[in-house]
Amino acid sequence: MAQVVKRPKRKNPVERTRLPTLPPATRSRVALGLTAAAARGRFELQVCRDCGAVQYPPREVCRICLSQRLFWRRQDGMGELISDTTLHAAQELFFRERLPWRIGDVRLDSGVNVIAYVHHNVGAPPCRIRIEAALDRSGQAALVAMPERGRPALSDDPKLREMTCNPRARKILVTDGKSAVGQAVARALAAAGADLIWIGMAEPWKKSAGFDALRELPQAKVVPLDVTDSRSVRELAGEIGGKVDILVNTSDCHRAFSLAARRGVETAQLEMDVNYFGLLRLAQEFAPTLKARAADGDANAIAWVNVLSVFALSNYPPHGTYSASKAAAWSLSQNLRADLRPAGVRVINLFPGPVDDEWDQLEMPPKLSPAALAAALVQSLQGSVEDVYPGDVAQDWLARNLESPKTLERELGEFDR
């Protein structure tokens, strides 16, 4: 039997508008290493290169030998919940509005103690648990004690649900439904329980394979949207901007040419007009309303998702100007994230490798199917991350970029993926 989707209550326009509250967000520079890992869905702790000690909280020097040679390493998170307590009073406004809170003291197998939120599926101490790092509403890392066995979702716990952007029962705008990726995203969001999905359509006189099938989705509503036209974006924002909970930017212009294989700048201008200026137009019109609705209870605006490309990390010469346009969009999305963070609206960027579509048809496998990319997008909303690198190629590029950006640049300059 299909699960019934519970729709959020409508906002009463007579009542006072709530303002968003966030947990404390101030962190030292060294502590931001924990947040950087959590943004990619990883739990990492500092490890000393000299004595091998693992430490928490993050420090400038090793707690054992005082060495400054520290690096971040992924942890399995296994440990034991030693004790727990339920807080019924708090100084911070964010926590006062959400009392009571269950927290616990966890002894990790790596030898350090951490204080963590405790998922409601975790039993009474002492018991075995697994620590996960998630992003809270302020965009900073928070540690959560999860059951050792099974993988319950953060959204299963009412107290931890705000760390996710679950699309269930949400109203979502997908900016371009004509591409294979846009269509796959719309179908995946519908399967995840979205309440209403607006699907943007530019140039309606141009037929696109599979687009008509989207109209059959019970949640789908096709709307005119051309991200290269400021008036089109402005008119749609005026019509539905105050209702959108999640915006998914799938608009993309991709032309597979190197600089030497193309004359003129017209194609590059079109790529920039869609991939960069299109995002800018969307941000200028929709971001203010998302910020204004960030505290609307269960019906609040919660997320903005950009489908970028792993080519943004380092330019891939066979797709040179496309890579440049995605790099520009990535930089702009960082600006957008900083702008939306004070309201608690999360900006999620996806960096897929080559997608199995017409513009990457000459690329050798492995390639990411549109359905796999859509599944990764939905999973990112259901979880608690900011940066997603779906597919083997994207994961490989990320690892090589983190190890040595210059080496990756030289390798790509030889057309070696």
| pLDDT tens digit sequence for 233-283 | 999 999 999 999 999 999 999 887 777 767 778 889 999 999 999 999 999
Structural domain total, the chain = 2
Q: Which amino acid is at 199?
A: I
| 328 in the same domain as 297 | yes
Does residue 11 belong to any structural domain of this protein? no
Q: Which of 200, 157, 194 is nearest to 178 (CA)?
A: 200
Does residue 3 belong to any structural domain of this protein? no
Does residue 256 belong to any structural domain of this protein? yes
Domain boundary among 112, 132, 162: 162
Q: What is the mean pLDDT of residues 109-114?
A: 95
Buried b (16+ CB within 10 A) or exposed e, 224-248: ebbbeeeebbeebbeebbeebbbbb
Q: What is the mean pLDDT of residues 125-141?
A: 95
Q: What is the mean pLDDT of residues 14-27?
A: 77
| 349 in the same domain as 212 | yes
pLDDT at 202: 87
Could you tell me the residue range of the domain that residue 80 belongs to?
A: 34-162
Query: 407: Cβ–Cβ under 8 A, 6 or more apart, which residues?
Result: 400
User: How many degrees, rounded to 5, is the angle at CA 96 between CA 112 and CA 297?
Assistant: 110
Residue 230 has pLDDT above 80, yes or no: yes
User: How many degrees, rounded to 5, is the angle at CA 213 between CA 211 and CA 217?
Assistant: 115
pLDDT at 3: 42
Residue 309 has pLDDT above 90, yes or no: yes
- Among the residue ranges 48-52, 136-140, 203-207, 291-295, the one predicted with the least confidence is 203-207
| 198 in the same domain as 145 | no
pLDDT at 16: 57
CA distances from 244 to 19, 102, 328, 347, 389 (A): 18, 32, 25, 14, 25
Provide the token pair at 129.
């648990």
| 265 in the same domain as 119 | no
Say if CB 348 and CB 388 are below 8 A apart.
yes
CATH number of residue 187's parent domain: 3.40.50.720
Mean residue pLDDT of the chain comes to 91
Does residue 313 belong to any structural domain of this protein? yes
What are the helix and strand counts (H, E) for the chain?
Answer: 11, 15
Residue 416 has pLDDT above 50, yes or no: no
| 198 in the same domain as 98 | no
| 349 in the same domain as 236 | yes
With residue 188 as reference, give the H or E element that holds it: helix 180-191
DSSP state letters, 189-239: HHHTT-SEEEEEES-TTS--TTHHHHTTSTTEEEEE--TT-HHHHHHHHHH
Residue 5 has pLDDT above 70, yes or no: no
Q: What is the mean pLDDT of residues 14-34?
A: 82
Domain boundary among 130, 162, 194: 162
Q: Would you place residue 108 in the very low, low, confident or very high pLDDT band (cuts 50, 70, 90)?
A: very high
pLDDT at 212: 80
User: Of the segments 18-22, 89-93, 354-358, which one has the largest average pLDDT value?
Assistant: 89-93
Say if CB 226 and CB 246 are below 8 A apart.
no
| pLDDT tens digit sequence for 40-87 | 999 999 999 999 999 999 999 999 999 999 999 999 999 999 999 999
Domain boundary among 142, 162, 182: 162
| 191 in the same domain as 118 | no
Say if CB 8 and CB 169 are below 8 A apart.
yes
From first CA to last CA, the distance across the chain in angstroms is 46
| pLDDT tens digit sequence for 358-376 | 777 777 788 899 999 999 9
Q: Roughly what angle, to the nearest 10 degrees, separates helices 320-340 and 277-292?
A: 20
pLDDT at 2: 38
Q: Would you place residue 102 in the very low, low, confident or very high pLDDT band (cuts 50, 70, 90)?
A: very high
- Among the residue ranges 82-91, 120-129, 279-288, 357-366, the one predicted with the least confidence is 357-366
Say if CB 13 and CB 299 are below 8 A apart.
no
| 120 in the same domain as 191 | no
Higher pLDDT, residue 150 or 403? 403
Distance CA 218, CA 381 (A): 21
Distance CA 168, CA 204 (A): 29
| 365 in the same domain as 259 | yes
Region of residue 361 (left: phi > 0; alpha: psi -120 to 50; beta: else):
alpha
| 262 in the same domain as 310 | yes
Higher pLDDT, residue 311 or 358? 311
Say if CB 64 and CB 53 are below 8 A apart.
yes
Longest Cα–Cα distance of the chain, Å, equals: 70
Q: Would you place residue 1 in the very low, low, confident or very high pLDDT band (cuts 50, 70, 90)?
A: very low
| 196 in the same domain as 155 | no
Cite the DSSP H helix spans in 241-391.
266-275, 277-292, 320-340, 370-382
